[in-house]
Homo-oligomer: A and B are copies of this chain.
Amino acid sequence: MKNRVITISREFGSGGRTIGRKVAEKLNIPCYDQELIEKIAAESGFAKEYVAEHGESAPQIGWFANVLAERDYYGHSVQDDLWIIQRKVILSLAEKGPCVMVGRCADYILKDAADCLTVFVHADPEKRAERIVRQYGERTDSPQKRLKDKDKRRAAYYHFYTDRDWSAAQNYQVCLDSGVFGIEKCTKILAELY
């Protein structure tokens, strides 16, 4: 029997990761986020920082040209190696039991392998800008630029490997604006829908 898995895709700074952790706590099931990165790093030999950064975001704007340029004779890139290992780890964790998975195209990877509740969390850029400054501190780039850059890279990555539009409502069973409802209410709704 397929396990019940919640997959959470989220805009940067929307609190989707926190919601995932809280839903998992509420349902008493594991939430794979940091642990996912560690397992992928262990299996792949890539550094954890590399996996965290490149396992769900295109390396930079203009990535399509880049990723093509970096392909070997067989059309294969380092990014593809990471994708293959990541896919394998996600599939094997979902086979172990019910869980929450944050990011990394898990919704797409598990579409036939688990009984998924697929979620997309987003929020107003202003609220997200506040949140990332609170969570990750100030940087040289403005929070607005950081949001735009990160989301663009996540969308490009998602589109490249899934051929789907990252933020189309139709790709998810439920999409929530965490800026309007707040983390607690979103957690409650998802636990209820599960």
- Is A175 at the interface (CB under 8 A from chain B)? yes
Note all chain B residues with C-beta closer than 8 A to A185. Answer: 193
Which B residue's beta carbon lies closest to that of A188?
A: B192
What is the size, in residues, of chain A's interface with B at 8 Å between Cβ atoms? Answer: 19
Rounded to whole Å, the gap between the CB of A5 and the closest CB of chain B is 14
- Is A120 at the interface (CB under 8 A from chain B)? yes
Note all chain B residues with C-beta closer than 8 A to A174. Answer: 174-177, 181
Bound state CA distance, A54 and B16, in angstroms?
A: 39
Bitwise, A156-171 to B at CB < 8 A (1) or not (0) is 0000000000011110
Within 8 A of B (CB), among A84-118: none
- Point out the residue from B11, B175, B177, B193 that lies within 8 Å of A181, measured CB to CB: B193
- Is A42 at the interface (CB under 8 A from chain B)? no
Note all chain B residues with C-beta closer than 8 A to A168. Answer: 167-169
Note all chain B residues with C-beta closer than 8 A to A169. Answer: 120, 122, 167-169, 172, 175
Which B residue's beta carbon lies closest to that of A170?
A: B122
